[in-house]
Structure 1
Amino acid sequence: MLAQVDMRFGVAIVENAYDHTAAIEAVRGSELFSREPELLQISKRLFPRIPFKTLDVLVVERFGKDISGAGMDPNITGRSSVGPVENFNGPAIQRIVVCDLTEASHGNGVAVNVADFITRRFFNKLDLKATYANGLACCNPSACQIPVIMETEEAVEMAVKTCRFIDHAHPRIVRLRSTLNMDEFEISEALLEEAHAQSNIEILG
């Protein structure tokens, strides 16, 4: 397309971990292909991430299209509806629990197959017709698959129970409001020592 159009320049926008604009840059048309990978690396450095090497369970309160096209940001979870994220710079996570589907999703729960457990509240909000239409339109029927359904606390308990090779008495759990809201999150007691050792984390209580 660029060979057929006189592209004088483009405007690149880089967002930070708070979904705010971090940089705006005008790029000459002749430099678009060389500059874009460099800006992508800057963007990746600004991505939010869970600041631990391993988690037994990640609990995500809200999943939805208004949060990420995939419901949850694959750059946070390390999982996409088609498999693991390549070159993922985040923790190894054994189990993911999703608690609720946002109203703005209008019942579309496509890509929830990346979770291991969902709550009954989430399931009751699903519009299977909308979910299937989205997944099949993307030629990705696996994105329509439904995880194990349980009540909220049972889902978390079963997620811990099904983790392998962990200290089940002291599980490593992080609870996020969503993958778009990570300025504050809850952690289990097993992660406190590691959290205290990181200068960029403030323990609130």
Structure 2
Amino acid sequence: MVENAYGDLARVDVVMPDAIFPRERELLRHAKEIMGRLLLSEIDVLVVDEIGKNFSGTGMDPNVTGRTTSHHPGFDTIAVKTIVVRGIAPASRGNANGIGAADFTTLRCVNAIDFPSTYTNAITSRVSDSARLPMILNNDREAVALAIRGSFPAGTDRARVVRIANTKAIHTVRVSEAFLPEIAGRAEFSIHGETTPMAFDSDGHFID
């Protein structure tokens, strides 16, 4: 079974035993061609609302983020300078495997981590970097501000910021105004709504 970029079933193949290995190679190529990916270049800051085992075995799909804690090749074609992780999906039950691929996170996210399950996952997969912690900030505002400052030192008015719910749901994303010249007129994009400033509550967390 092969999924498409929307997480829906794209095709089902029935393969005889002696044809499994050659057919599997063909299906893998097809799966990679239709998988979800960010169709944007040179992202300064990628904000990920939630990571979790329900989205990817690595918490964040490296095909989307361009980051892998296993150091396996093939994921460096996506130019993402800095990653902010805001939280862990409830379905992941505190397993924060993959948070090591981020640069910044929040205290609220770290407080939600179940360290025994996260460390067990990292130990059994033999990828200890998956469980390491990035810099921890008090809230979303601080994490995003430092990410922008570190990845775009010349200022904030043209920082290329992308915010996604998770690495599985990327058919709708939020982008900063700096991307508008790049996406204007491209058939694969449609722009919804007007530009608005990032909104935070009194605790410094995003208002959705």
Alignment of 1:1-205 (within 5 A): 13-83=1-71, 86-88=73-75, 91-150=78-137, 151-163=139-151, 168-205=156-193
Q: Distance in 2 between matches of 1:201 and 1:45?
A: 18
CA contact (8 A) 2:67 2:76 kept: no
Structure 1, unmatched stretches of 5+, are 1-12
CA contact (8 A) 1:76 1:90 kept: no
- Give the aligned residue type for 1:132: Y
- Give the aligned residue type for 1:76: V
TM superposition shift of 1:166: 6.1
CA contact (8 A) 2:152 2:159 kept: no
Q: Distance in 1 between matches of 2:54 and 2:166?
A: 11
| Comparing 132-141 and 104-113, the one that deviates more | 132-141
- Give the aligned residue type for 1:147: P
- Give the aligned residue type for 1:106: R
CA RMSD of aligned residues (A): 1.7
Change beyond 3 A, Cα 1:164–1:189: closer
Structure 2, unmatched stretches of 5+, are 194-208
Aligned to 2:13, the other structure's residue is in SS state strand
Q: Deviations over 1:21-56 (max 9, x none)?
A: 101111222222211111111111111111112100
- With normalisation by structure 2, the TM-score equals 0.86
TM superposition shift of 1:92: 0.3
Q: Distance in 2 between matches of 1:146 and 1:81?
A: 12
Report what 1:5 is aligned to: none
Q: Distance in 1 between matches of 2:63 and 2:113?
A: 24
CA contact (8 A) 1:98 1:117 kept: yes
CA contact (8 A) 2:58 2:97 kept: yes
Q: Deviations over 1:95-144 (max 9, x none)?
A: 00010111111111122100001111111101222211221122222221
| Comparing 114-123 and 127-136, the one that deviates more | 127-136
Tell me the number of residue pairs that the alignment of Structure 1 and Structure 2 aligns: 192
CA contact (8 A) 1:53 1:90 kept: no
CA contact (8 A) 1:64 1:101 kept: yes
Q: Distance in 2 between matches of 1:142 and 1:204?
A: 38
- With normalisation by structure 1, the TM-score equals 0.88
Q: Distance in 1 between matches of 2:65 and 2:29?
A: 19
